[in-house]
Amino acid sequence: MAEAIRRLASRAATTDQLISALRTQIRELSTNASGEGAGCPYQTFEAEIASLRKENDALRKQIDDQKEALVKAEVANGVPQVKAPGTM
């Protein structure tokens, strides 16, 4: 069971990193969208941004699902849950 918890935590961390990288790409695309970056029209950037946002939403849902599974596994193993400061 401990291995499953480690895998869930690892997946959550990996997904957080991916979301961070995607946010960086969105910022870069937004910055380039105001000009003619790489010869692509503005609409192409908007479509890419919309696609990345949709992917981010899906990844956020996966993260929430994995975190929920982790909490359930911890509770099942008697690990007390502590709220993070600022989330109370």
Q: Give 31-82 pLDDT, tens digit per residue.
A: 776 654 555 566 778 888 999 999 999 999 999 999 999 999 999 999 998 8
Say which residue, 56 or 9, is predicted with more confidence. 56
pLDDT on residue 29: 80
pLDDT on residue 88: 58
pLDDT on residue 28: 84
Average pLDDT over residues 12-34: 85
CA distance 2 to 77: 9
pLDDT on residue 42: 67
pLDDT on residue 33: 65
Q: Which residues contact 75 (CB under 8 A, 6 or more apart)?
A: 81
pLDDT on residue 4: 81
How many CA atoms are closer than 13 Å to the CA of 50, on its beta-carbon side? 6
